[in-house]
Chain A
Amino acid sequence: MNKLIPSLGLHKRFILTILLIAVFVWSLTSIQWNSELYHAGGIPTMLQIFEGLIQPNLDSELLLVGLESAWITLAYAVAGMSLAIVYAFIVGVLASGTLTSSKFSRIISKVFFRGILGFTRSIHELIWAWLFVAAVGLSPYAAILALAIPYGGILGRIFADMLNDVPGQPILALKSAGSSRLQTLIYGYLPLIWSDFISYTMYRFECAIRSSAIMSFVGLGGLGFQIQLALADLKYDSVWTFIFFLIALVIFVDGWSNFVRKGLTEHKRRKGMNSGWLSVLFALLLIAASWFYITLSEKANLGELLSEKNLEYASKFFGGLLGINQENPAFLNGESWALALKLTMETLEMSVMAIGFATIVAFITVIPAARNIANGSLTLQKNWYNRILYGVIRLFYIFSRSVPELVWAMMIIFIFKPGILPGALALALHNFGILGKLWAEVVEDMDPRPIRNLATAGASKIEILFYGILPIVLPRFLTYILYRWEVIMRTTIVVGFVGAGGLGMEFKLAMSYFDYTQITLLLLCYMILVIIADFASETTRKAVK
């Protein structure tokens, strides 16, 4: 990384690590650690919940409901992602500035379009969903757009970053051969990044499945809807049945994404395009089927979305948000601001705590979870238990990330005193699986030669870990930590819904009381948080580079 000044680079990283740990410790001090945090009375309820895990409800009628809901969840995720890709592609290209030539116009387009991408991804899909439902009603498009907009924002940003990071030589070669800007884009930039872009999109698709399930919590059908109903009725066995459906969906997407990634790397070696075309065909089929289903059986109509009635409601709604005809809008009220900022602080602490816990657990488990360590190809050591450990941990990862934060929070609240700790734990439980998976892939993709060298030189496992693996993967680990932290920050709103504290709870109350100006105030607070997160992660990323 730092060929010129390695010592300074290490120094920087060291300071940064200390700093990050300090921030984590600071977040822990916001909780009064005593025995009151936890109460044993909830254990019987927890046991009931676990009983449902071991003996899920396998009633055939319920399984049919599960199957149908799983399809709805998948269809919405696919429809949302297909729109997101279109949006990400157009705005991403514009935001990268590859189509503009003069420096001035490039900066303008970069700032403007990056701003759009930043805004659209700073608001959680659940809030988008709710805004759309309030503005255009319970139309399937509310859910699709709510998925497409933030996901398009994230994809577009990654896309723009990738375009900007393309090595200069091939582009220069094309340019000097006299190709136009569009031609350089199509023949130069796109072939260089499309495999990365596809594998990132597949990963995001997996996230979209979970988001699509969460969408149901604003009243749109699907697995989340069924989970919420079953939870409210205290039918834990049915809850787990639906969660297993969700897990199955996530495993399916995970498997597909592995297949695609494999196909992409293999394709580089030999010209066989079979697996790639198969995936493309399958994706197109899935997209067509999803849209077909949504427009036909859910009776979605794009024209209805822009009807006069909807425009009237939408303008009324946005007028309400802006506090038109309101005597004392909350966002002009000092007291409301003071309260909201206190909650903003709580939310910040919750997110830091959550990523801290998730990091610790992922750090402990990531090494055995990497395939190249499990099969001994990296360390040149083969142990029978490594494979078992690999399987078990990977299973935990899938389980952890398949269960939505909201469901984790609803269970945890039975044994922990409400406040930011159960919220942070729920977020951590959900995120350690994601972090672990991303990290394990980093370890799998790393250059094995230095490690093999160490291993043949007789280094012990611990030594290999600290002197071989960690220095190589740490910067990317850190990138993922910061990136998940941004995501967690937005997701705090979800766990707030079930009384886990922070801004989310207040948001839910404001929604239920139709207190629109308060919602505006809370949205502003979220913006502040996202700006803080963006700034912090950008600076740290630069520092480790």
Chain B
Amino acid sequence: MKKWLSGIILFMLVLSMAACGQTEDKATEEKEGNKETKTEEVFRIGAIPDQNAAFLQTGMEAVAKQLSEETGMKVEFVPSVDYAALVTGFQRGEIHLAWFGGLTSVQARNLVPDAESIVQRPRDAEFKSVFITQEGSGIQTLADLKGKSFTFGSESSTSGHLMPRFFLSEEGIDANTDFNGKPNFSGSHDTTYKLIESGSFQAGALNISVWEAAVKEGKVDTNKVKVFYTTPDYYDYNWTINSNVEEVFGSDAKQKVKESLLSMPGDTTEIADLFQTDKFIETKNENYEKIEKVAKELEIIK
């Protein structure tokens, strides 16, 4: 029996050593490879998945192309299905530049303290959410929502969750306890109006530009769904750049990226279509202090 035990132990040792040896080999290989490719490091950009994916892909690839042309770096767009996954990638330094919502940018900067919000659209300084309900539901004001069923968008969304929750709490409604059952998180702005239209929920809140686009394109039946409240302005989406960019791509990389972003969309219709804007402006971390405060108050950021 002892023979067997020692046999097993020996076997496992050999196995683990073999495994270690192999990984070391690979690691050194990789390092050697890296030396040559250091300058070839890919600048990765990401975007929160709050829009039509194909649309997002074409728009962001156009951004990557333009960034690459203007900065001389190799730029690649990394698609993501999940807000949190993008934030995690950013935290790990794998995503160098990201198009975040207000809340996700604050979360990301919380995890990467030296990251910086650099560029936004003019409309992001005065963003709004709409509260919608079914026609004939009798809901006229935020206060009427007490005891009704309610859906937010994604839990990581600023315009679909954080700010609507904040304006509800200003009206004295605690989203956790005052609705009929717990609030739902639909996952996307488009799903939110679909759920209201189908009657799954009596009311919901979403991004104003998604709503306006849905009405324009006839994706939502306005005979069934109506807006009953539009929120005051707040800061939302922005381009956030990672703290490791200057270290990896050189000290002027950040400035170059910023200039390139500010020159967009230029003549590139894909970018203009995706962001629905004709220019970008500078922004700074301080603009998002209110979002951070609200998120902390609502215990979404600890």
B200 close to A418 (CB less than 8 A): yes
A301-B26, A306-B23, A498-B187 are contacts. A137–B94 as well, Cβ < 8 Å? yes
| Distance of A238 from chain B, by nearest CB (Å) | 10
A302-B22, A303-B27, A306-B23 are contacts. A512–B53 as well, Cβ < 8 Å? no
B83 close to A514 (CB less than 8 A): no
A453 at the interface (CB under 8 A from B): no
A39 at the interface (CB under 8 A from B): yes
Q: Which B residues fall within an 8 A CB radius of A?
A: 1, 4-5, 8, 22-27, 29-30, 49, 52-54, 80-85, 87-89, 92-94, 107, 111, 134, 149, 154-156, 181, 184-188, 190-191, 194-195, 197-201, 219, 224, 300-302
B107 close to A514 (CB less than 8 A): yes
The dominant DSSP class at the A interface is: helix
* Complex partner residue of A101 from B1, B25, B111, B195, CB under 8 angstroms: B1
**Count of residues in A whose CB is under 8 Å from the partner chain:** 54
* Complex partner residue of B80 from A41, A219, A514, CB under 8 angstroms: A219
Give bound CA distance, A137 to B301, whole Å.
22
A234 at the interface (CB under 8 A from B): yes
B302 close to A232 (CB less than 8 A): no
Q: Which A residues fall within an 8 A CB radius of B?
A: 39-45, 94, 99-102, 105, 133-134, 137-138, 181, 216-219, 225, 228-230, 232-234, 301-307, 309, 313, 413-415, 417-419, 498-499, 505, 508-509, 511-515
Contacts of A219 in B (CB 8 A): 80-82, 85
B199 close to A303 (CB less than 8 A): no
Contacts of A232 in B (CB 8 A): 49, 53, 187-188, 190-191
Give bound CA distance, A509 to B149, whole Å.
19
Give bound CA distance, A5 to B155, whole Å.
58
A100-B1, A512-B83 are contacts. A138–B53 as well, Cβ < 8 Å? no
Contacts of A137 in B (CB 8 A): 88-89, 92, 94
* Complex partner residue of A234 from B107, B185, B191, B200, CB under 8 angstroms: B191
A137-B94, A219-B85, A232-B53 are contacts. A513–B301 as well, Cβ < 8 Å? yes
Contacts of B195 in A (CB 8 A): 413-414
Q: A413-B200, A414-B198 are in contact. List 18 more A-B contacts (CB 8 A).
A: A45-B198, A99-B4, A100-B1, A100-B5, A181-B4, A217-B81, A219-B85, A234-B191, A303-B25, A305-B23, A309-B92, A313-B92, A418-B149, A499-B186, A508-B155, A512-B84, A514-B107, A514-B111
Give bound CA distance, A94 to B4, whole Å.
11
A304 close to B30 (CB less than 8 A): yes
* Complex partner residue of A514 from B5, B84, B199, CB under 8 angstroms: B84
A102-B1, A302-B23, A304-B30 are contacts. A39–B200 as well, Cβ < 8 Å? yes
- A-B contacts, 22 of them at CB < 8 A, read A41-B199, A41-B200, A41-B224, A42-B200, A94-B8, A99-B8, A100-B1, A101-B1, A102-B1, A138-B89, A219-B80, A219-B85, A232-B49, A232-B187, A302-B23, A306-B23, A309-B92, A309-B93, A415-B200, A417-B149, A513-B155, A514-B84
